[in-house]
Structures are given as structure tokens and as C-alpha cells.
Structure 1
Amino acid sequence: MPSNEQRRQAAKRKLERQLERRAEQAKRRRMITMGTTIVVVIAAVVGVFYLTRTGGESAAQPQAPTELALPPVRPTPLPDPVSCQYRPDGEASKPVQPPANGEVSSKGTVQATIDTSQGAIPLTLDRALAPCTVNSFISLAKQGFYNQTDCHRIGTEGLQMLQCGDPTGQGSGGPGYAFDDETFPELQYGRGYLAMANSGPNTNGSQFFMVFGDAPLSPDYTVFGTISEEGLKVIDTIARAGHDGAFEPSPGGGHPNLKVTFNKVEVQA
């Protein structure tokens, strides 16, 4: 049998081994803690670097597509001419005469330029897409209806577009007449499209929107032309400045932070 001295020595060695294990465990815990701290610090430094390089607030802005969508084309051409009807609809936000009812050509394009406080936005109006809409837009432009009006809404997430054409600047104004939609089921919207805003089927008036990015819409909004790359650069700048969220959550977006005023809309027709 082991003596008392032998038992004491065995207990002492056991205690020493326990103390060594505890010291080793404590050392490992300190190493893990230090490693985690280093990782967190590195991540924070990388985050600050990223925000610094990308501009912080602008980095949080959703990115819009930069490639122009293919120009819209009707799968089945319209007859030429077509009959257009412009019926009374409420009070005009600004004195203006509706276009004459009757036959309108569905052939050819018309060049137009919106001279805005942020730069020129050249447009190509396409009668083959929407002859009655193009006819109305030209009439309003020539009567000065759009002069000195502000674009009242921009969307930068989901539906990325700039909406204009209301002299009241509130989104509820119009020319005092309405006309029918000129849509087709295959219509898909993309960067560079010019389309009519509406409040339901066949309620087109003076308001329109210019798509600079994504536009996941049903084909219920008449497309009547396209925007030049030069014009899209102007709209991109306006979009990067953001909006005030006045129209959130529905219909979305808000007043542009960078104010956009139409000085004049010139039509080369």
C-alpha cells in the first residue's frame, strides 16, 4: 500500500496538472478573444474605407441599369390614320385648348427637347407607338402648357422614373381633357422609355414619366417615345440627389431633392 508521503506526492502532481490545464485553457480563451477583436477591428476599418471611397450616403442608393432598353415596337402596326378623341375631363390646371378630334397619322417620329433647370432632355416622339398621345403632347408643348412647371415626383427604388407634366406640382393637375390608352399586352418598360401617367384606364392627360432604370409595371401606361442618352444623364443626376419621401409608401418616391423646372418644351415638327 502507498504510504502517506506517496499519497501526498500523487495529490500534488494531480493538482499541478489541473493548474496547468486551467492555465492552458485560459491562454486559449485570451487568444480567441484577441482574434475576434482583431477581426472586428479589421471589418470596421474595411467598412469605413468602403464608405469613404463610395461616398457613404450615395453608396446606399439603389443602382439603376445603365444600358438603354431596346426601343419599343408594336407587334402589330396601327392603321394609318387613326381616329383620336379628346373628351372634357375636369378643370384645366392652366388655360389650354384640347387638340381637335379626328384622324391623326400613325407614321413617323418627331424630335422634341425639354429645356429644364438641370439641363436639356431631348426626346423622340413615335407616332407608330401612340399617335393620339404624340398629337396631344405636341399640342400642349406648342401652347406653352408645360412651361414653368416642376417635376413633382421621382422614384429611385422599384419603379425608377421621373414624373412631370402637372402645372400644380401636386400630382393631381391636368389639361382639362382626357383620351384613351394606346397600349399593347407585350409592352415592357425599360431605361429610356417615355410614358403617360394615368389614374386608371383611359385617363391620359398631360402627366408623363421618364424611365431611367427599372420599371416593373403592368402594360397599362402608354409609351409614346424615348429619351436620348444625353437626357438620361440629366435624369441620372437628379436621381442621385434622392427625394423627400413625400409619396411613400404609395405610390412611392417623393419630390426630387434637386428641383426640376421645365423652362420650355420645344417641338421640331
Structure 2
Amino acid sequence: MPSSRDRQRKLARAKLDRQLARRAAALRRRRRIQAGVGAAVALVLVGVGGFWALGGFDREPEPVATEICSWTPVNAEDNPNVKDVGRPATTDLPTSGTRPMTITTNLGRPITVDLDLTDAPCAGASFSYLAGKTFFDNTKCHEITTEGAVRCGDPSGTGQGGPTYSYAGENLPQAPEPAASPAPGQPPLYPAGTVALVGNPPGSYGSQFLIFFKDFNPSSASYPVIGQVTSGLEVVATIGAVPTVDNGSGSTVKPEKDVVIQTLTVGEVSTAAPSPGTPSGSPAGSPGAAPAASPAPSTTGRS
């Protein structure tokens, strides 16, 4: 009969064998896992290497959008005449070509204007934005200036209104040097049909604009030009012929009868160069004045 000590030795030996077997099995599992991870890492490295070899890491970074226009906030508490309709975008704005602007008043056929996006891109962006907000609709042209222009674009009709932002002037005409004599046939700084901004205060522009129905040639320019009338100049001249009365501040510049912008719309960008020369539609009373055909309605995407 085996002794008690022999049985204990056999049991201890069997236990040790089982432990060694479990350790060996665990080691084999760990080696299989490590081999799988290594193969996966190798595949990833091969893929990354191929991507690099094909120039996958040579791509240029995405360009950052360049700010084209800057809009300065105007506090409505400081000026209760302004109207808040938000602000236009500052990036991804067109900087070449023209936009057609159509002004329909209560005094004749529509007046069409080419807004100059090359020389006045921010003014063009602002007018397009405000037109999309119906900012100008059912507003009055509150002044017929002594300079020969109709002043519009202020919903308050006070000459103090506009949107709750302003922007810097663009495309200010260059007056000749005081000592220089104008060249023969040199056009005036503001020929009839010119559309220009008027600031409040000067140098800070919003929505107010002038449409000249007479040539104006000052010694220095103060109104940034934003476009030219292409049709309906005789309507502007008709408005300019309306008698004026005191506007309440001692200036006899207010039209005796209401001149209402019923709608003002701005169309899509055109890359065609604006046509040079005199705007179509002779001013009322000009020799040989003949009304041009009415333009097709402007298509406007109002936001």
C-alpha cells in the first residue's frame, strides 16, 4: 500500500502539471493575439505607405475665406431712425461684373441701374442684401437736391435713417488738380444718370443714394459712385422737376408731392462689361427726347 506521503506527492505533482498546462495554453493564446495585432499594424503601415506614395499627404490645406467687406454696427439706441434687418455676409461676395437694379416709383416706368461690382463691391453687396429684405419698398425719396439729384433710400424719410450698419465709401471720382484746366470734352465728375452714395455722417454709408438728373461737376468729389442708370433717366428728370417745399428744417428740398419707391429689386450678377456712353432715356425736355421701351421685369431673389 502506498504511504500517505506518496499520495500527497502524486497529488502535488498532478496539480503542478495542471498549472504548467494552463500557463502554456495562456502563452499560446497571447502569442496568437500578438501575431494578429502585428499583422494588422503591418497592413495599416502598408496602406499608409501607399497613400503617402500616391501623394495623399501632399494636398494643399483648404483656403480660408477672405473677408471682402466690413460692416460697422450702428446702435439703434443712438439713432432711432435706423431699421434693423441684420447684416450682409462679409465673404464670398462678387467683386467683378454688374448687378441690375430696378427701381419702380409712382411717377413713371421703372428706372434700371447697373451696380458696379468691380469698383464698388461692398455697396453692391449691401444694396442686393437690403433689396432682398424689401428694405426700400414703399419708401419715399425725401429730397431733390440743389445739385441736381434725387435723394432716396431712407425709410424714415428724415435723411438720418438707414440700416443698423455702415461701410466705407468706394469709387470716389478723382477731381482734376485745382491748377489744371479740364481737358476739352472731359465729362463732369457726376454726369446725369450717375448713382452715388450719400453718407450720414459723410464718409459713413448705408442705404441712402442719389440719382443725378443733371450733370454735376464740383471742385471736389464727395459722393462714391456705385452705378449708372441704363434706362428711365427721363423718369428721374421728371422727378427732379417736381416743385419743392420746406422740409421742416428750413431747406426747400422736399418734393411737393410724394415720390414713392414702390419696389427696388436687384438681379443676378452679370459678367458683361457695362456699356459706355449716355444712359438710355433722355431727360424730360431734352431735344429729341423719346421714351425707350420698357425693360423686362427684374428677377430678384428676395431672402
Q: Which bin holds the TM-score, normalised by the shorter protein?
A: 0.5 to 0.7
Moved more, 86-95 or 109-118: 86-95
Alignment partner of 1:90 out of 70, 75, 82: 75
8 Å Cα contact 1:109/1:125 also seen in 2:
yes
Contact 1:141 1:266 in 2 (8 A): yes
Q: Percent identity?
A: 33
What's the counterpart of residue 222 of structure 2? Answer: 220
**Structure 2: 5+ residue runs without aligned partners?**
1-65, 176-188, 269-303
Q: Distance in 2 between matches of 1:202 and 1:241?
A: 29
TM-score w.r.t. structure 2 length? 0.56
Asked if the contact 2:160/2:200 (under 8 Å) is kept, the reply is: no
Measured in 1, the distance between the counterparts of 2:152 and 2:205 equals 13
Q: Which runs of 5+ in 1 are unaligned?
A: 1-80
Q: Any runs of at least 4 consecutive aligned residues in structure 1 with deviations exceeding 4 A, and if so which? A: none
Give the whole-Å Cα distance in 2 for the aligned partners of 1:201 and 1:259. Answer: 26
Shift of 1:185: 5.0
CA distance in 2, matches of 1:196, 1:175: 14
**Whole-Å Cα distance in 2 between the matches of residues 207 and 86 of structure 1?**
16
| Residue of structure 1 equivalent to 2:170 | 182
Q: Distance in 2 between matches of 1:112 and 1:228?
A: 10
Q: How does 1:120-135 map to 2 (within 5 A)?
A: 120-135=110-125
- Pairing 1:102–2:87 present: no
State the distance in 2 between where 1:236 and 1:87 align: 34
Given the superposition, is the C-alpha separation of residues 122 and 255 from structure 1 closer, same or farther in structure 2, using an over 3 Å criterion? same
The structure where helix makes up a greater share of residues is: 1
Residue 154 of structure 1 corresponds to: 144
SS class of match (2:174):
coil
Segment of structure 1 superposing worse, 164-173 or 201-210 = 201-210
User: 2:139–2:154: 8 Å Cα contact kept in structure 1?
Assistant: yes
- The separation in 2 between residues aligned to 1:211 and 1:247, in whole angstroms, is 24
Given that 2:67 and 2:90 are in contact with CA atoms closer than 8 Å, whether structure 1 keeps it comes out as no
**CA offsets 1:14-45 (integer angstroms, 9 cap, x no match):** xxxxxxxxxxxxxxxxxxxxxxxxxxxxxxxx
Q: Structure 1's 127 and 163: CA in aligned 2 closer, same or farther, altered over 3 A?
A: same
- Classify the secondary structure of the residue corresponding to 1:124: strand
Larger Rg: 2
**Quick one: distance in 1 between partners of 2:258 and 2:202?**
30
Residue type of the alignment partner of 1:223: V
Q: In the TM superposition, what are the counterparts of 1:22-41 in structure 2 within 5 Å?
A: none
Count of matched residue positions in the alignment of Structure 1 and Structure 2: 184
Distance 1:125 1:185, change over 3 A: closer
Aligned CA RMSD, in angstroms, stands at: 2.2
Stretch moving more, 88-97 or 139-148: 88-97
* Counterparts of 2:234 and 2:141, CA distance in 1: 16
